[in-house]
Structure 1
Amino acid sequence: MDGTRTFLGAVGTALPGEPVDNATLGKLLGVSDEWIDIFVGTETRHFGWDLATGEVLRTLTELCAEAGARAMAAAGLEPADIEFLVLATATPDTLLPTTATQVADLLGLDQLPVYQLQAGCSGAVQALDLAAALLGGRHRTGLVIGGDVTHRHLDIRRDPVELSSEELVNYLIFGDGAGAAVLSTEPLGEAVEVKAVLNRLVGLGRAPGQLVDWYGISDRDSPRRMLLEDYREIESSVPELAVEAVLDLLGLTGWAAEEVGHLLPPQLSGVMTGRIVERIALPGAREVSCVRTTGNTANALPFLQLERLLGDLAEGDRALAVSIESSKWIKTGFALEKAVLR
């Protein structure tokens, strides 16, 4: 990072509806809740759509605006204080207008640059990376938001017998949600400094591990699947990339492994997160995870983890966060340190 310091002042999150447990979901999908717990390790998740009818009850725009409003309120800021907005998602409500501009409208933001990044699990960190660059220019305070929803890709009305195991697991892993953070060049609110941001595409020559498709008016009846994932490759590669990301962040900060007190690991599923943490050589770091109760909410996950972290940080405490995107293989992460204000 350049000479401009970047501080995280506050975080806000939004999860739609009541949590859906494995017994409820398993009954709809024809699998046991015990099997879900053993295979996936996720206990509950939230959906912004009705499980019985598929009706959308909370849009991504609404969730992101709720999270953004909470972050601004926690930082003690008004809309006029926000100088830019960056939003990351893989599942926008519409292609145009962008979800970012719709969220800005709901938050009362005007006369400011608004950016939307199309990305999967790496998007929240990409948004943080862009925000840090903007803060190094003429801006002093901005809002970063990440969120995703599942209603376009999960159809509970389908006969579970028709679902392949690769499709079925998506119903068990993913959930809906949004998160937001206020960033600034001066310490405010929680006064946590962003010491480094890692954002690297590492998929040169590699087949994608995940594909999320979309249909237009001319191919909406296409039989091709909307969501594809190579779980074997993901299970093999993500832990390795997570270890690399931690080492990269330690190199960027100059920190020793034993100086890191908190680890925010990738949140693919409860089972996968457990495997990843075992591989990462930060034995003294406290794990900060949420995926077992929120499901994989993609771009919302780092904010949900941050919400659990901030209250436990004392002055001088250090944390590393890692997120891996398997679509075209992107390793991302960031390093935080609670500012010592004297």
Structure 2
Amino acid sequence: MTPDRSAPRRRARLAALGGYAPARVVTNAEIERRVDTTDEWIRTRTGIRERRYAAPDETTADMAAVAAERVLASAGLPSAEVDMVIVPTATPDALFPATAAIVADRIGARRAAAYDLSAACSGFVYALAQATALVEAGMAGNVLVVGSEVLSRVTDHDDRATCILFADGAGGALVTAGDAETTTGFLAFDLGADGSGADQLVLPVGGDRRLAAAGGAPADACIRMDGPAVFRFATRVMVESAQRLLDGLSMGIADIDLVVAHQANSRIMDHAAERLGIPPERLFNNLELFGNTSSASIPMALAQARDAGRLSPGDMLLLVGFGGGLTWASSVVRYEPLGEEHQWA
């Protein structure tokens, strides 16, 4: 990746989307056979009816590569023209090499720079902010951002508080250079972190194939969560971050065509929708089918919204992420696809 200092002024453009969900469907009925819970209890408190788990031979990189290929197919962009691959993930294949480097090789983007980003469930929007900065500074022309997680491998499946929530999947987006006169692109970001709450949501290990062979991580190395504390943080910060962003842009919810939040809990999204005045038809929710996929949740939701006819070229989006760190990240962006839109599956 070589900076192009001679490039004319340009704006970063949200140019393509893609997603991938593993084949294995895990229903609430399956979970209630293992822990003391019921389908009704899970649906009432989370909004989740089922989720997907990766196959034993599937890793974060494997899923990310599929999602990445679907993003590029939607854009009609050859992989050789990708300048940077960023993989936000809490479950990398290894500490190094970066999962992003493996993905870049798999898809044939062999001249691209590549790195992973760790911001938990806020990671996708954090990575979009970095992609935007790279593009608008002339450091890159095409940046591929792919959130991918195998949370099922780092979940204690005997812990009712977490096993009902977390799941696997991948989703991505292409951020590319657009003409500043004709591209709206990313209007603003609101990013932040509060490390004083770091112990409220913790994951000590990654998610590679060896854990699958071992039956998952040991219980003391799995996701640990203070559910009530995280709920209080999320319901507060989601509203504050989104409102701060809209106020800074002199915009209101009426200017937003679709709100896509991190798919963590339907009660959190419903609370934010009520506080911000978001009509139900402008809040996208796929939590029922996919559960909480951390950094993959927003791009998976975006791709599914497109496939369902809920997202159209030219729509103005409000993206809101929140998660471990504790972190938060919001953005307002217009969806301006490059080419023919492809369904993710």
CA distance in 1, matches of 2:111, 2:336: 31
Question: Where does 1:88-167 land on structure 2 (aligned, <5 Å)?
Answer: 88-136=88-136, 137-154=138-155, 156=157, 163=158, 167=159
Aligned-pair CA distance for 1:155: 5.1
1:29 maps to 35
State yes or no: 1:211 paired with 2:208: no
1:256 maps to 252
Structure 1 residue matching 2:297: 3-state secondary structure: helix
State yes or no: 1:269 paired with 2:265: yes
1:61 maps to 61
CA distance in 2, matches of 1:18, 1:305: 18
Does the 8 Å CA contact 1:5/1:185 hold for their aligned counterparts?
yes
Residue 227 (structure 1) aligned to one of 223, 227, 230: 223
- Counterpart of 2:78, as a letter, is E
1:53 maps to none
Structure 2 residue matching 1:77: 3-state secondary structure: coil
State yes or no: 1:335 paired with 2:321: no
Aligned-pair CA distance for 1:138: 3.0
Aligned-pair CA distance for 1:140: 1.2
CA distance in 1, matches of 2:218, 2:39: 33
State yes or no: 1:20 paired with 2:10: no
Aligned-pair CA distance for 1:76: 0.3
Does the 8 Å CA contact 1:314/1:338 hold for their aligned counterparts?
yes
Aligned-pair CA distance for 1:268: 1.0
Structure 2 residue matching 1:198: 3-state secondary structure: strand
Q: Deviations over 1:304-328 (max 9, x none)?
A: 1211344434565322111112x23
Residue 198 (structure 1) aligned to one of 175, 190, 211: 190
Question: What percentage of residue pairs aligned between the two structures are identical?
Answer: 27
CA distance in 1, matches of 2:44, 2:278: 26
Structure 1 residues 284 and 258, CA gap change in structure 2 (3 angstroms) = farther
User: Gaps (5+ residues) in structure 1?
Assistant: 50-55, 157-162, 216-220
Query: Under a length normalisation based on structure 2, what TM-score does the superposition of the two structures give?
Result: 0.83
CA distance in 1, matches of 2:10, 2:251: 20
2:303 maps to 307
- Counterpart of 1:273, as a letter, is M
1:291 maps to 287
Q: Deviations over 1:177-219 (max 9, x none)?
A: 01111111127xxx87222222222x1544532111139xxxx
Aligned-pair CA distance for 1:288: 0.9
Structure 2 residue matching 1:111: 3-state secondary structure: coil
1:183 maps to 175
Query: Under a length normalisation based on structure 1, what TM-score does the superposition of the two structures give?
Result: 0.84
Does the 8 Å CA contact 2:161/2:227 hold for their aligned counterparts?
no
Residue 324 (structure 1) aligned to one of 313, 322, 325: 322
Does the 8 Å CA contact 1:46/1:177 hold for their aligned counterparts?
yes
Structure 1 residues 328 and 284, CA gap change in structure 2 (3 angstroms) = same
Structure 1 residue matching 2:130: 3-state secondary structure: helix
CA distance in 2, matches of 1:177, 1:284: 25
User: Gaps (5+ residues) in structure 2?
Assistant: 1-8, 207-216, 339-345
CA distance in 2, matches of 1:82, 1:135: 12
CA distance in 2, matches of 1:90, 1:130: 17
Structure 1 residues 340 and 271, CA gap change in structure 2 (3 angstroms) = closer
Aligned-pair CA distance for 1:45: 0.3
Does the 8 Å CA contact 1:261/1:284 hold for their aligned counterparts?
no
State yes or no: 1:281 paired with 2:277: yes
